[in-house]
């Protein structure tokens, strides 16, 4: 399963960004293979950043998003696309991915 984590930088050692739509980038991890890639958030400084980020994530075949907070417009786009949203996530990106893989986040 592909998941995306809002991140303050391009590394698994960077912090989970509290802002979904305005994060610097997303770390996209495949929970089956363990591989990860960086997806730059090009719309992070423009209006409608949450919607643009949500559309980009949904188009990438991502099934879940880990973030600090997801605004209502981004939540709507992600939900309509069948993407699970896990909010309230903090700490290192790599640790958040590990917690998700271990089933540590309750279904919302």
- E-only strand ranges, the chain: 2-7, 25-30, 36-40, 64-66, 84-86
One pLDDT digit (tens) per residue for the chain, 108 residues: 999 999 999 999 999 999 999 999 999 999 999 999 999 997 655 678 899 999 999 999 999 999 999 999 999 999 999 999 999 999 999 999 999 999 988 755
Residue 5's alpha-carbon distances to 67, 92, in angstroms, are 6, 10
Sketch the domain layout of the chain as residue ranges.
2-101
- Topology of domain 2-101 in CATH is Nucleotidyltransferase; domain 5 (3.30.420)
Task: Look at the chain and count its residues.
Answer: 108
87-98 confidence digits (pLDDT tens): 999 999 999 999
Summarised one tens digit per residue, pLDDT across range 37-48 is 999 997 655 678
């Amino acid at each position: 399963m592909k998941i995306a984590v809002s991140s303050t930088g391009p590394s698994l050692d960077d912090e989970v960004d509290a802002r979904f739509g305005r994060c610097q980038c997303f770390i996209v991890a495949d929970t089956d293979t363990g591989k990860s890639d960086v997806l730059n958030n090009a719309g992070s400084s423009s209006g409608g950043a949450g919607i643009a980020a949500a559309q980009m994530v949904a188009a990438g075949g991502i099934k879940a998003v880990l973030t600090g907070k997801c605004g209502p417009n981004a939540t709507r786009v992600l939900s309509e696309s069948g993407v699970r949203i896990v909010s309230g996530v903090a700490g290192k990106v790599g640790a958040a991915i590990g917690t998700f893989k271990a089933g540590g986040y309750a279904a919302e």
